[in-house]
Amino acid sequence: MKIVIIGGVAGGMSAATRLRRLNEDAEIIVLEKGPFVSFANCGLPYYVSGDIQERSDLLVQTPEQLRARFDLDVRPFSEATAIDPDKKEVTVRSKDGEYQLAYDKVILSPGAKPFVPPAEGLSEAKNIFTMRNVPDVDAVTGFILEHKPKKAVVIGAGFIGLEMAESLAHRGLAVTIVEKAPHVLPPFDEEMAAYLADELKANGVTLYTGVAATAFQNEGKTIVLENGVTLESDLTIMSVGVQPENSLAIAAGIETGMRGGILVDENYETSKKDIYAVGDAIIVKQQITGEDTMIALASPANRQGRQVADVISGLNRKNKGSIGTAIVRVFGLAGASTGMNERQLQLSGKEYAVVHIQGKNHAGYYPNASAIVLKLVFHPKTGEIYGAQAIGADGVDKRIDIIATAIKGNLTVHDLPELEFTYAPPFGSAKDPVNMAGYAAMNIIEGVSESIQWYELEKMQEAGYQLLDVRGEGEIARLGALKGAINIPVDDLRARIGELSKETPIIVSCQSGLRSYIAERVLKQNGFTVKNLDGAFSLYATVRPEKVVK
């Protein structure tokens, strides 16, 4: 069997090496239009920052290494320009000329390319770069060494944009981020992204959100935003997003779908027989909803490459889809997410509920414990887990990985308190944040607690609800209070309950949500109508600091 793989890196090389392990006699040819067939594209920003010091560390395998270990025919600088599904031939352009390559099976792993929106003056700019491969990182680092830029603008505040902003700041540049969406890191919900926005600002990064760049002047050194603001930039990174590299597939008559993604079946086969596709270019099923989506992440691409090799080799593997689990570091914080966010659920029309809990990365009494804010989104009746997001200095990867595993394993929020984790004070808590999120979600499902979200507070105050802050007076003096709140510390609530009217519905709040839950239970059992402000003061003050009275 002769298998031609078009594109390397995660999907293509995973397929190639797995094919060899299963088929010693197969002829396996890997075509890569660039110079590098196996490199760590997720590590590129960290080479710019200097965290990764040796460029060679980005190169996972060379063609020579792949030939020696796996007997793969790897051909860099060899671009597949056409596929003829009828003749079963690939047209290849190389430095030695053009030739035809016959195949029994083809695996497309072309990846995605940076999306660069049209803008006035963009073609004349000389200081604008994207970040997708090793030549890109060479261009950026070479420009920095030659021109010694002082000011940088990153357009787009997704995962790569935030990583590049951090990396350039670490190199001493004054960094500005421009994001068209209302907040940084659009895959996260607004209140969770607010923590990362604060971290960016605390490290000197200037933010412009809800606005796009419309023009580039002075060869790219002046950037005009749609609100009229002009920015000066010595170096600009375009990180608006990616789009599937689908030109080869379209020319071959292969069917595409949303945003031009390549359509594949449960065996990764395209609409053309014996042509398969994996990686960032394909449409997958969002495993939670079954809807089409595109997830450009390394882990799914590696899995897909291995699975398509299994399928071609006759093993029973199915494309089950993905849930999109990801993480990003932003200076001293990390943000991680899995599954669906609240905005996606609103657009889908699904019924859902939310809890925010605040915990620690390890036992609070052990030195250097740091906070974790964990958001869990779930079905309010069945407890099906839809997704989660977490922010913190340490340990957010562990918690989101656990919840991602729970989603994949079809667990519900009722199972989360039953999960048993390793525990000793330096490593975790006896009640892990994941356990606590499960308890909080069960309280919602079972009617033990009723909560409102941060964006509902003002509307409910206008409807006649009284906001009751059950923190101590010292906390309020130090941290501030929410507008319209009255204060009765939770430890005084039973003694002072007569100061409250049962005719007036109440929203309770504290610092993190624990004391307000206790107050909710006390008041409800004394005949009051009560709802708990989910996430409490700390969450609301983070996303709406202008509403805090000091």
List active site positions. Answer: 42
Which element (helix H / strand E) includes 92?
A: strand 89-94
Q: Report strand pairing: 174-179 vs 353-360.
A: unpaired
Q: Which two tokens stand for residue 145?
A: 């060494």
Which helix H or strand E contains 139, and what residues bound it?
Answer: helix 134-147
CA-wise closest residue to 198 among 330, 337, 359, 361: 330
The alpha carbon torsion through 61, 66, 67, 72 (nearest 10 deg) reads -130
Task: Give dist(CA 414, CA 433) in Å, integer.
Answer: 14
DSSP bridge partners of 292: 285
Nearest to 535 by CA among 495, 504, 507: 507
Q: Which residues of 307-321 are buried (b: 16+ CB within 10 A; e: fewer)?
A: bbbbbbbeeebebeb
Pull the structure tokens for residue 243.
């789009």
The residues, any chain, with a CB within 8 Å of residue 137's CB and separated by 6 or more, are 44, 47, 48, 58, 131
Residue 530 neighbours by CB distance under 10 Å: 22
Look at residues 465, 517, 470 and name the one whose alpha carbon lies nearest to residue 358.
517
> How far apart (Å, rounded) are the C-alpha atoms in residues 202 and 211?
21
For residue 546, give both structure tokens.
Answer: 């202008």
**At residue 456, what is the residue type?**
E
CA angle, residues 512, 202, 166, in degrees to nearest 5: 115
